[in-house]
Structure 1
Amino acid sequence: MDVSEIEVRDEVGADCLPYLMDLFASAWWTATRTTSEVTRMLAASDLVFALIHRPSERLVGFARVITDEVYLAVVLDVVVAPGSRGSGLGAMLMDAVVGHPRLAAVRSIELVCQPELMPFYRRWGFTEQVGRSRLMRRTADPLLTGA
């Protein structure tokens, strides 16, 4: 995919919601999300990053952030369309996230990823060196427990 044809937008309009649902269907942790849940999630997210292929108006990448804009920002749901992976769209998303003005003064930006993606995120300064901290989770989603 030609990245010069991609636009970063700060919302997912109703016209792109079906594309977001298709995108979520392609990722193991988002595959069971419903349209009504995703609509609520979009409204409650502090920052939304949508990569739109201008010629087709199709959403081909997505990420979101929850933040207090001072101490912490958490990057969530970084997803690129399967047919566009490896084309630089993930880097475009992460550049938009870490370069966003509302995150410029945030002390820590965090994310959770699979081990094979750690080298990708290291390019933006993310590290698995988090002191003695450990991730803990309370969830009703069996996809997130490995059970």
Structure 2
Amino acid sequence: MKLIYDFTPAQLTQVHQLYAHTWWGKSRTLEDTMSCIEGSQICIGVIDQNQEVVGFARAISDFIFKAIIFDVIVCPSQRGCGLGSMIIRALQSHEKLKKVKHFELYCLPEMEKYYEQFGFSRQVGGIRLMRRVN
């Protein structure tokens, strides 16, 4: 397994196919996928021995105070093999994110224990998520 930070057009299509395996991303179009990757400052993929993308995540940051991790996805056939851990650790140690004070992410309640191993906590000083649908 190898980390990549730049994506060929074929690999962008493979990332889009990964979204199809998620409940929250399966309605995204290829254009949506390409736009969100283009608009993200850090994107990390994991490719297998066949050069296929089997894992992905992206982050948006001000590079000092906050980095928000989005779309951590691992191919269903590769889950449980440590790829998610590889991706999270690669984001946390990324050269451009070394000075960031807070890493944040959204997850379902059943994923909280998983992310706790990387230092994430629900204790965020009483802050509440607010959303406006456009």
User: What is the CA deviation profile of residues 34-80 of structure 1, one whole-angstrom value per residue up to 9, with x for unaligned ones?
Assistant: 11111111111000000011x21100000000000011110000000
User: Is 1:40 the equivalent of 2:35?
Assistant: yes
| Rounded Cα–Cα distance in structure 2 between residues aligned with 1:75 and 1:139 | 20
User: Is 1:77 the equivalent of 2:71?
Assistant: yes
In structure 1, stretches of 5+ residues that fail to align are 1-5, 141-147
| Rounded Cα–Cα distance in structure 1 between residues aligned with 2:24 and 2:6 | 21
Which residue type is aligned with residue 38 of structure 2?
A
Instruction: Compute the displacement of 1:15 (Å).
Output: 1.5
User: Is 1:129 the equivalent of 2:123?
Assistant: yes
Task: Indicate the SS of the match to 1:118.
Answer: helix
Task: Indicate the SS of the match to 1:136.
Answer: coil
User: What is the CA deviation profile of residues 9-41 of structure 1, one whole-angstrom value per residue up to 9, with x for unaligned ones?
Assistant: 112220212211210000011111111111111
Q: What is the number of residues matched between the two proteins? A: 134
Which of 2, 26, 32 is residue 7 of structure 1 equivalent to? 2
| Rounded Cα–Cα distance in structure 1 between residues aligned with 2:90 and 2:79 | 17
Which of 127, 132, 138 is residue 132 of structure 2 equivalent to? 138
User: Is 1:101 the equivalent of 2:68?
Assistant: no
User: What TM-score do the two structures reach when normalised by structure 1?
Assistant: 0.88
Task: Indicate the SS of the match to 2:9.
Answer: coil
User: What TM-score do the two structures reach when normalised by structure 2?
Assistant: 0.96
Bigger mean CA deviation after superposition, 96-105 or 60-69: 96-105
Which residue type is aligned with residue 55 of structure 2?
G
| Rounded Cα–Cα distance in structure 1 between residues aligned with 2:100 and 2:94 | 11
- Name the % identity: 35
